[in-house]
Amino acid sequence: MTQNSAFLGPKIALFEPDIPQNTAAIIRTCACLGVKLEIIEPCGFLLNDKRFKRVVMDYMDEKDIKFYKNSDNFFTSKKNQRIILMTTKASISYTKFKFNKNDTILFGRESAGVPEKIHKLVNDRLKIPMKNNKRSLNIASSVAIVLAESLRQVDLN
């Protein structure tokens, strides 16, 4: 499964996704907005999972998805690119950040985020501000919110 390296635009990366319906919804969002998706394995489900297939419908185009066997492979391939980690542990809002055209926006695992070693590899960490006492938004909603702002800023859509 390959990806066109000449693609100029934001990319969404998912770290070890574990809920098939969320990943499928993110694939649909990326497909509809013309954004490349990158998935860092292992996934917590198989791509033939019926819950995944029900949500992804006919939006699954594997040429628009790049799979990485692990986070080491992902970060090695991104050594000269900016990676932005979305995390509830960040202090900067995504609305206060200047996105670039070729950013990769990384989202953690639904059940656990990303490990501390990943936090240390990324210079830019952002959050979606939420009301007090709320833990997190659904990852598919979070991707749509941040991706819309990124696309707005770089004026690609």
pLDDT in tens, 4-36: 445 678 999 999 999 999 999 999 999 989 999
User: In the numeric block, which tokens belong to residue 106?
Assistant: 């990384």
pLDDT at 4: 42
d(CA 37, CA 13): 6
71: number of Cβ within 10 Å? 19
Q: Is residue 71 part of a domain?
A: yes
CA distance 12 to 3: 13
Residue 62 lies in a domain: yes
- The pLDDT tens digits of the residues spanning 71-129 come to 999 999 999 999 999 999 999 999 999 999 999 999 999 988 999 999 999 999 999 99
**Residue 15, domain member (yes or no):** yes
Residue 20 domain flag? yes
CB atoms within 10 A of CB 153: 16
The reply to whether 94 falls in a domain is: yes
Amino acid sitting at position 58: D
Could you give the number of structural domains in the chain? Answer: 1
The CATH number covering residue 132 comes to 3.40.1280.10
Give the DSSP letter string of 46-87. -TT-HHHHHHHTT---GGGEEEESSHHHHHHHTTTS-EEEE-
CA distance 38 to 15: 9
The C-alpha atoms of residue 117 and residue 121 are separated, in whole angstroms, by 7
Q: Residue 49: give the domain boundaries.
A: 11-154
Q: Are 43 and 15 in contact (CB under 8 A)?
A: no
Give the pLDDT confidence of 31-66 residue by residue, as tens digits: 989 999 999 999 987 777 787 777 777 767 666 789
Whether residue 1 lies inside any domain: the answer is no
